[in-house]
A = this chain, B = another copy of it.
């Protein structure tokens, strides 16, 4: 099974203002909005076909998303690719010389295993891998 795009994350300064554009202007549906204190952000989820747009809004000046906006402004933050077997994907990436964020996958609050590829390896893209076994 080939990798598939799972979501596209966009870093924004003001979640309500961003929803005025992405929901009210562009016409996407907002299916969920919740805080993710472990990442220091509030997230809005807007499915757009088989892919989800996630708006990430920092809740303070701390954390990676706040640092991203401080440095580069609002905009495309990362893309996430779903793979059926994360260890196999990691091995193949490492064999091609790619640098990963850690030696083994992390587990999010939903039990999903994930890891990041360093933007230097992915030609400037912060790339997240999700293991989706179903």
The count of identical subunits is 2
Within 8 A of B (CB), among A1-34: 2-5, 8, 10-13, 17-18, 20-22, 24-29
Given A5-B48, A5-B49, A49-B4, decide whether A75 and B125 contact each other with a Cβ distance below 8 A: yes
Shortest Cβ distance from A84 into chain B, in angstroms?
10
A119, B125: Cα distance in complex, Å: 18
Contact pick for A50, options B27, B50, B53, B75, CB 8 Å: B50
Chain B residues near A122 (CB-CB < 8 A): 21-22
A74: CB under 8 A from chain B?
yes
A92 near B27 with CB under 8 A, answer yes
Chain B nearest Cβ from A24, distance in angstroms? 5
10 contacts between A and B (CB under 8 A): A2-B47, A3-B28, A3-B48, A3-B49, A10-B125, A21-B98, A25-B92, A26-B92, A26-B127, A75-B119
